[in-house]
Amino acid sequence: MDAALPIIAIIAAAAATFYAVSFNELREKSFRDLDESEPETGGGGGFRSSASSRETRARRKAEKEAKK
**9, pLDDT greater than 90:** yes
What CA–CA distance (Å, rounded) separates 42 from 51?
A: 17
Q: Tell me the pLDDT band of 5, cut-offs 50, 70 and 90.
A: very high
User: For position 50, what pLDDT does the model report?
Assistant: 61
pLDDT for the residue numbered 18? 93
pLDDT for 36 equals 73
> What is the mean pLDDT of the segment spanning 2-28?
91
Domain that holds residue 14: 4-67
Q: How many domains does the chain have?
A: 1
Backbone angles phi, psi at 41, to 5 degrees: -90, -5
Q: For residue 18, is it left (φ>0), alpha (ψ between -120 and 50) or beta?
A: alpha
**Structure confidence by residue, pLDDT tens digits, 45-68:** 556 556 677 788 888 888 888 886
